[in-house]
Amino acid sequence: MRLLLLNPNTSQELTDRLSAVAEQAKAPDTTITAVTAPRGFAYISSRAEAEIAGAIALEMIAERVESCDAVVIAAFADPGLKAARELFDIPVVGMAEAALLTACMLGERFGIVTFTPRLTPWYFEAVQSAGLAERFAGFRTPPAAQGDIGDVAERMAEELGALTAQMAKDDGADVVILGGAPVAGLAARLRSGAHSAVLLDPVSAAVKQAEALATVAPQGASHGSYARPPGKASQGLPRALAQWIVDGPSGG
């Protein structure tokens, strides 16, 4: 299975981190192509940035859809996820959604630990969009964002581990998702310590869910409200996306 691991941020360093984690989770017969956004923000951290990045994610998929079998949108609150599902007839998976749904099989309630409070309102929209708010045990974050995101996983590992333990103890979370692309892979490292919740890594969850969908529904979300819209002309959009929208794969 050919998986497109799409980083909607412009940071190549982040793509490398995501890619390394994804390679460890994938099945033997999955090949992963990791791509980095050509424009936008080094790291999305607001609703407005996600709105812009969502449109960029569509452009990135349009350029590559005919050479992949499934897509993972690798930013935690899943920019462009529903739009991509509608436009492309292969499985499209978001890191947040995949983690939330996977968590439902590992406990009754799940929470999210992340490295800055700034992101939580945007992340919460992903919880609501999945319809899982009543199983959500809340967020735990440091009081404020701190420094560069490049090494946040290493620098804040201990603090995030402590937040995880607090969440398990006080918030009734059976599962803790470590949210945010910059902390991809951290779950595995914290797991070796003694924490009283199942720790879940969103990139790994997304890779496995993409593989699952590629088996049980290779055309992805392709019917009903996700049926591909009729072809339509546009003005001023990037060429590959405009062409895909006007006439789809047969127009190639």
User: In angstroms, rounded to a whole number, what is the distance separating the alpha carbons of residues 76 and 120?
Assistant: 11
- Which one of residues 2, 13, 64, 83 is an interface residue with its own copies (CB under 8 A)? 83
CA 166 to chain centre: 25
Q: Which of residues 1-20 bind its own copies (CB under 8 A)?
A: 10
190 binds its own copies (CB under 8 A): no
Q: Binding of its own copies at residue 215 (CB under 8 A)?
A: yes
Residue from 13, 23, 64, 104 touching its own copies (CB under 8 A): that is: 104
Stretch that binds its own copies, among 12-20, 120-128, 148-156, 178-186 (CB under 8 A): 120-128
Q: What is the dihedral angle through the alpha carbons of 52, 20, 76, 4, rounded to the nearest 10 degrees?
A: 60
Closest CB 1 distance from its own copies, rounded Å = 10
Of the residues 50, 65, 112, 160, which one makes contact with its own copies according to CB under 8 A: 50
Contact pick of 34, 77, 80, 126 for its own copies (by CB under 8 A):
80
Nearer to its own copies, 55 or 240 (CB): 55
Is 29 a binding residue for its own copies by CB under 8 A? The answer is yes
Residue 57 Cα distances to 95, 101, 212, angstroms: 14, 22, 22
* Minimum CB–partner distance for residue 115 and its own copies (Å): 15
Q: Report DSSP letters for 149-174, one per residue.
A: STTHHHHTHHHHHHHHHHHHHHS--S
State which residue, 115 or 122, has the beta carbon closest to its own copies.
122
Contact status: 216 vs its own copies (CB under 8 A): yes
The yes or no reply on residue 146 touching its own copies (CB under 8 A) is: no
Q: CA-CA distance, 34 to 127, in Å (whole number)?
A: 26
Rule CB under 8 A: say whether 198 interacts with its own copies.
yes
Q: Is 97 in the site for its own copies (CB under 8 A)?
A: yes
* Whole-number Å distance between alpha carbons of 42 and 99: 23
How many residues touch its own copies under the rule CB under 8 A: the total is: 89
Task: Give dist(CA 27, CA 21) in Å, integer.
Answer: 13
Residue 242: Cβ within 10 Å count: 17
First to last CA, the chain: 22
The least distance separating its own copies from the CB of residue 161, rounded to whole angstroms, comes to 14
Residue 135 has what DSSP assignment?
G
* Of 12-20, 133-141, 150-158, 178-186: span binding its own copies (CB under 8 A): 133-141
Q: Which of 90, 95, 181, 197 binds its own copies (CB under 8 A)?
A: 197
Q: Is 134 in the site for its own copies (CB under 8 A)?
A: yes
Q: Using CA atoms, how far apart are residues 215 and 63, in angstroms rounded to an integer? A: 24
What CA–CA distance (Å, rounded) separates 34 from 11?
12
